[in-house]
Amino acid sequence: MSIGIGIVGAGMISNFHAKAIADAAGCHLAAVCDRIPEAATAFAEKYGCNGHGSIEAMLDDPSVDAVAVCTPSGAHLDPALAAAAAGKHVIVEKPLEITTERCDQIIQACEKAGTKLVVTFQSRFHQSSLLMKKAVEDGRFGTVTMGDAYVKWFRSQEYYDSGAWRGTWALDGGGALMNQAIHSVDLLVWLMGDVEEISAMTGTLTHERIEVEDVAVATLKFKSGALGVIEATTTAYPGALKRIEIAGSNGSAVLEEEDLIQWDFADETDADRQIRDSMQGNTESGGGAADPSAIDHKGHTKVYEELAASIAENRMPSISGQEGRRSVEVIRAIYDSAQSGQRVKL
């Protein structure tokens, strides 16, 4: 059985979803809807699917089994709730929503409807990310002492001016953290475990006409006792690939986009040498560091295949709503700490 996907929103990111669906085993693109009917029609003609001028019309389309929400971040809630109420499975582009309360509404709606909920954190499916996760689970780092995420990207003023929703609290939900760095925040918490306490500072230093931060620094204490740092900015010209660093008493590793640029353990194995040789030079795009369209759709394809597999196997998706909520909780705590000047306990 192939799952028919209907996309809500015909903006830039929807093109990556359409390409990913075309490559995903067990899925096919069935429909698209957009509040601008001409945009839906053009998108439908480009990708060979049904076009609708409203989500209500798309939800009535019998070819649609699941809905991919590709609207601005602060506009994920309503289409996700409508899809769940119609008995459709739900895929949501990151972030799940811009507050934990809104995340919880989506999670609860899908639980009530008995539909799957998947959040688009495609970086988890990179082979390098999976190797890092296995090393953590196997205890190869010994006592993990530090876990850090660095996202030093660049966005021009024109980027923020290109859409009225960009850089607003209501629809972007935040700036460098909520929009750009959230993939790295997700990876960090996935690897390191839950965060216990956060202290942070943020600022808006170079961009005009935005309400949100273009630079942020946070220190974290994880529940394991390990410490960490999150640095995020959209004003670091010309933009660098995102980095995750894990360090412990028996090993250290550095993940740079899809590459493992450091992989050193006290209990060295032949497999480690092979990993060092094979897991560098694999990043084929700019990773979105300077251009949000400079990504590929391979990871998104894995997200859709995970949806199809979770439906076929009747299990919880690996990137469930609860998983998607974790990064939003951390980022909101960073904002709370920066605003109050106090440490925030999660």
Nearest to 45 by CA among 56, 66, 29: 29
Phi, psi angle pair for 40, to nearest 5°? -65, -40
pLDDT at position 169: 96
pLDDT-derived band at 26, boundaries 50, 70, 90: very high
CA atoms of 224 and 196, how far apart (whole Å): 9
CA atoms of 21 and 40, how far apart (whole Å): 17
CA atoms of 276 and 339, how far apart (whole Å): 42
Three-state SS for the chain is CCEEEEEECCCHHHHHHHHHHHHCCCEEEEEEECCCHHHHHHHHHHHCCEEECCHHHHHCCCCCCEEEECCCHHHCHHHHHHHHHCCCEEEEECCCCCCHHHHHHHHHHHHHHCCCEEEECHHHHCHHHHHHHHHHHCCCCCCEEEEEEEEECECCHHHHHCCCCCCCCCCCCCCHHHHHHHHHHHHHHHHHCCEEEEEEEEECCCCCCCCCCCEEEEEEEECCCCEEEEEEECECCCCCCCEEEEEECCEEEEEECCEEEEEEECCCCHHHHHHHHHCCCCCCCCCCCCCCCCCCCHHHHHHHHHHHHHHHCCCCCCCCHHHHHHHHHHHHHHHHHHHHCCCEEC
pLDDT above 70 (res 261): yes
CA atoms of 234 and 230, how far apart (whole Å): 14
CA atoms of 23 and 12, how far apart (whole Å): 18
pLDDT above 70 (res 293): no
pLDDT-derived band at 284, boundaries 50, 70, 90: confident
Q: Which amino acid is at 83?
A: A
Homologous superfamily of domain range 124-294+327-345: Dihydrodipicolinate Reductase; domain 2 (3.30.360.10)
* Percentage above 90 pLDDT, the chain: 94
Q: How far apart are the first and last CA of the chain?
A: 42
Q: How is the chain split into domains, by residue range?
A: 3-115, 124-294+327-345
Q: Which amino acid is at 251?
A: G
pLDDT above 80 (res 73): yes
pLDDT-derived band at 283, boundaries 50, 70, 90: confident
* Number of neighbouring beta carbons within 10 Å of residue 13: 21
Residues 6+ apart with CB under 8 A from 205: 214, 215, 235
- Residues written for the chain: 346
pLDDT above 90 (res 14): yes
pLDDT in tens, 78-117: 999 999 999 999 999 999 999 999 999 999 999 999 999 9
Note whether 3-115 and 124-294+327-345 share their fold. no
CA atoms of 294 and 29, how far apart (whole Å): 23
Homologous superfamily of domain range 3-115: NAD(P)-binding Rossmann-like Domain (3.40.50.720)
pLDDT at position 58: 98
pLDDT-derived band at 292, boundaries 50, 70, 90: confident
Residues 6+ apart with CB under 8 A from 134: none
Contact 102, 317 (CB under 8 A): no
pLDDT above 90 (res 303): yes
Question: Which pTM does this prediction carry?
Answer: 0.96
CA atoms of 15 and 70, how far apart (whole Å): 10
Structure tokens at 56: 């209500």
pLDDT-derived band at 1, boundaries 50, 70, 90: confident
CA atoms of 105 and 267, how far apart (whole Å): 46
Task: Specify the higher pLDDT residue, 310 or 293.
Answer: 310
Quote the mean pLDDT of the chain: 96
pLDDT at position 281: 81
* pLDDT-wise least confident of 42-46, 154-158, 185-189, 295-299: 295-299
* Number of neighbouring beta carbons within 10 Å of residue 108: 13
pLDDT at position 290: 77
Return the CA Rg of the chain: 20
pLDDT at position 172: 95
